[in-house]
A = this chain, B = another copy of it.
Amino acid sequence: MSKKATSSKRERDPAATRQRLIDATVRLMLQQGFSGTSVDQICKEAGMTKGGFFHHFENKEALGTAAVEWWGQMGTALYAEAWKDTALDPLDQLRRMFDIMIGFTRRPDEAACVCMVGMMSQEMSATNPAFQAACEKELNLWTTNVARMLTAAKKLHKPETKFDPVQVAWFLNSLWQGSMLVGKTCRSQELIRHNIKLARAYVEGLFQTN
């Protein structure tokens, strides 16, 4: 039995504190980017002082990679709904994925539909090898899953159209990232949704039999 509730007024929960720092980082970075967000700002957002911060992370870069990884886990959890059910027709898995993406544009909690991996890629991947590797890993993960579904769908439905599942997967990933980029600048979630619908129609077209 643990009686942690009774004992102290101040709760010492290092794992939760660390997560609070990551959450604050994600929140601020989605808005301001990495260079534009200072450690002081993150600490304030997380209700923590700088001394405490550097107890949990070696430096700002370590926090950045942790935030990217965390974002990747969030994404995987988000798409899991579409990917996990391996008994399903892979083409239906892809359809579910598009639904999830459209749902992502409708989140009420965040103002814009943005991706931390995409932001970090643009800002840092050319200069910071650690960030570049972290972002590439996440992009690869998404593409690999989509390519897997496309390959399975190809085997199942034997479409007339010839295409390389990996190339199409990168095509869709690029479109998804670019849609969030353009959607942010043009302040239009609907633009993103239109793109997703066109992407969905594109995939359907690949498997359409005349």
> Which positions in A face B, CB cutoff 8 Å?
30-33, 35-36, 112, 114, 118-119, 121-127, 132, 135-136, 139-140, 167-168, 170-171, 173-179, 181-187, 191, 194-195, 198-199, 202, 205, 210
Contact = CB atoms under 8 A, between A and B. Distances in A.
Given A31-B126, A174-B175, A178-B178, 7 more contacts: A33-B123, A33-B124, A35-B36, A121-B182, A136-B185, A174-B195, A205-B205
Given A35-B33, A185-B132, A198 B168 contact: yes
B127 A32 contact: yes
Nearest to A202: B202
B184 A121 contact: yes
Contacts of A135: 185
SS of A interface (majority): helix
A126 B123 CA distance: 14
Nearest to A176: B178
A182 B186 contact: no
A121 B202 CA distance: 27
A137 to B, nearest CB: 10
A106 B30 CA distance: 32
Contact of A184 (B30, B126, B171): B126
A5 to B, nearest CB: 40
